Amino acid sequence: MRHLLDTQTLSRADALRILDVAEDMADTQQREVKKLPTLRGKTVVNLFFEDSTRTRISFEAAAKRLSADVINFSAKGSSVSKGESLQDTAQTLQAMGADAVVIRHGASGAPRTLATSGWITAGVVNAGDGTHEHPTQALLDAFTMRKRRFGTESRGRDLAGMKVTIVGDVLHSRVARSNVWLLNTLGADVTLVAPPTLVPQDVSGWPVRVVYDLDEAIAAGPDAIMMLRIQLERMNAAYFPTEREYSRRWGLDARRMGMLLTDTMVLHPGPMNRGLEISADAADSPRSTVLEQVANGVSVRMAVLYLLLAGERAHGGDESEDVL
Ligand code: CP
């Protein structure tokens, strides 16, 4: 595995391999000494052109727990603000000895450009690009669903037959796109629920059912419901009803929590707009997996960095599998 750029082209075998290695990593995090020597001598660069809390910190924690050296780069305060290009920024980091580059960028496709341009030799991990994909978020979401469903019997299992409903601002959501592809690969049935103005035009080519009424979707008895953040910063008045209207028609509140099955999982990738797409009752309920998702994110990112930087050697994998 050279790069992790998306879930649309991630095979079932590779997805399960990442999830199973993440199980091993999660086991190591239960030990008194959490740190493993596996990536000693390797350098991981976190190259973030957009804000992040969870993803950046969790990649940093993952790399450090594998004993890699970590360089954190934020576009704010760097020479990017003086107009330095992605190519020159990346080549500067390469010259400093980066073995892996974790990139978040506002432009869809920036991680692929970095991975395929020949500018750098480091492995590239997409940490969110524009409205395109956020593959490690989808992997940690799948890991969380599998863990809640199968517990200690999770290894080797997919999500066949699970009904997953994704609700909200699908139009702007890279999390939704990565989840749609990965959940489909793992055998889950996916339903999208959104206001008509927040459904992407190309959705007819996606392996999903689309409905506009959240109560109707909840009545179908999903095993998991994933609330998306309303991306107010990307919103234009043409897309969005008022916040009050949105929350009434598409928000997960106490009434709708009461309509869900008792064991339906409630996911949210964070950061949450409490009181808009999800009420405090729902976010903090025992059915909410929000903090489990954050914790599992470290294990999943440890697995990805391990497979990128040591896994092929350790597992005797096929180096021809260049871009996942
Ligand atoms: N879920 C997610 O990507 O959160 P951050 O923007 O805080 O990284």
Task: For residue range 239-270, list pLDDT tens digits in order.
Answer: 788 899 999 999 999 999 999 999 999 999 99
Q: Does the beta carbon of 247 sit less than 6 angstroms from any atom of ligand 1? A: no
- Report the sign of the C-alpha dihedral through residues 106, 283, 156, 170, in that order: negative
Give the whole-number percent of the chain exceeding pLDDT 90.
Answer: 85
Q: For 1-33, write each residue's pLDDT tens digit.
A: 899 999 999 999 999 999 999 999 999 999 988
- Per-residue pLDDT, 320: 37
Exposure on the CB side of residue 297, measured as CA atoms within 13 A: 25
- Per-residue pLDDT, 82: 82
- Secondary element (H or E) of residue 77: none
How far is residue 230 CA from its own chain's centroid?
A: 16
- Residue 118 pLDDT > 60, yes or no? yes
Q: Which residue has the tokens 């109560």?
A: 215
Q: How far is the CA of 310 from the centre of ligand 1 (A)?
A: 26
Q: Residue 200: helix, strand or coil by DSSP? A: coil
For the beta carbon of residue 286, count every other beta carbon within 10 angstroms.
7
Beta bridge partners of 166: 192, 226
Rounded to whole angstroms, how far apart are CA atoms 126 and 298?
15
- Residue 50 pLDDT > 70, yes or no? yes
pTM, whole model, 2 decimals? 0.95
Q: Does the beta carbon of 57 sit less than 6 angstroms from any atom of ligand 1? A: no
- Are 122 and 99 in contact by the 8 Å Cβ rule? The answer is yes
- Atom index in ligand 1 nearest the CA of residue 270 equals 1
- Per-residue pLDDT, 20: 98
Q: How far is the CA of 272 from the centre of ligand 1 (A)?
A: 10
Report yes or no for ipTM above 0.95.
yes
- Residue 322 pLDDT > 60, yes or no? no
Question: Which of 15, 37, 10, 35 lies closest to 309, judged by CA?
Answer: 37
Q: Which two tokens stand for residue 38?
A: 């596996």
Q: Does the beta carbon of 55 sit less than 6 angstroms from any atom of ligand 1? A: yes
Q: Does the beta carbon of 207 sit less than 6 angstroms from any atom of ligand 1? A: no
Q: How far is the CA of 229 from the centre of ligand 1 (A)?
A: 10
Q: Which two tokens stand for residue 250?
A: 């598409």
Q: Which two tokens stand for residue 304?
A: 């990805």
- Residue 324 pLDDT > 60, yes or no? no
Q: Which residue has the tokens 């996942």?
A: 324
Q: Which two tokens stand for residue 89?
A: 């920024």
Q: For 125-155, write each residue's pLDDT tens digit.
A: 999 999 999 999 999 999 999 999 999 999 9
Q: Which domains does the chain have, with CATH numbers?
A: 12-133+297-315 (3.40.50.1370), 135-292 (3.40.50.1370)
CA-nearest residue for atom 4, ligand 1, is 54
Q: Which two tokens stand for residue 295?
A: 């914790």
Q: Does the beta carbon of 123 sit less than 6 angstroms from any atom of ligand 1? A: no
